[in-house]
């Protein structure tokens, strides 16, 4: 399992819900592979469409265990927000300041079909919302205001120029 290129159309398409009565593949096995791919790429979250699978499934690091969320929904985001740098495995070296809710109450199914309701805070809430965006075909930097997006793109261009110079 590997990441699709950042220009792959699967990244901007809305993903399909998983029908547990007729799953498209072995959900437990796929979930294990998705978590492994997330770790192999040093991520804290990874959506199925980032590996070319257009279903509403994502993995995220957790403590004491990782989560695989299937058919996730946001029940209630907090009104309180926080502005932090955010990155994405599909867009290497791009970090953008994005405002997101500090807390989020969510519901999802596990690979075994159990329905869970959880409250995530801080980076876990941000990760959950970021992965939800992937499944809705939304690219994370679109949440940034114009100023922060422009700054991030300029930093990325500068880094890419430096990398090219170092290759010579």
Which tens digits make up the pLDDT trace of 131-168? 999 999 998 888 788 888 888 888 888 888 887 888 77
**Active-site entry in 65, 114, 131, 167:** 131
- Whether the CB-CB separation of 88 and 108 falls below 8 Å is answered with no
Catalytic annotation present for 131: yes
Full-model pTM:
0.88
Give 129's contacts (C-beta < 8 A, 6+ positions apart).
74, 77, 100, 101, 104
- Mean residue pLDDT of the chain comes to 91
């Amino acid at each position: 399992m590997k990441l699709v290129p950042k220009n792959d159309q699967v990244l901007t398409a809305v993903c399909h819900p998983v029908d547990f009565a007729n799953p498209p593949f072995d959900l437990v096995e796929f979930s294990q592979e998705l978590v492994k791919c997330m770790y192999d790429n040093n991520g804290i979250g990874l959506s199925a469409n980032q590996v070319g699978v257009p279903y509403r499934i994502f993995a995220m690091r957790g403590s004491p265990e990782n989560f695989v969320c299937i058919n996730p929904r946001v029940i209630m985001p907090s009104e309180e927000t926080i502005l932090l740098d955010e990155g994405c495995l599909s867009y290497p070296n791009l970090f953008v300041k994005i405002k997101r809710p500090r807390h989020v109450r969510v519901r999802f199914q596990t690979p075994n079909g159990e329905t869970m309701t959880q409250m995530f805070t801080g980076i876990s809430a941000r990760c959950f919302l970021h992965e939800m965006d992937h499944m809705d075909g939304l690219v994370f930097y679109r949440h940034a205001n114009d100023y922060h997006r422009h700054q991030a793109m300029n930093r990325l261009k500068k880094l890419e120029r430096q990398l090219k110079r170092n290759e010579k």
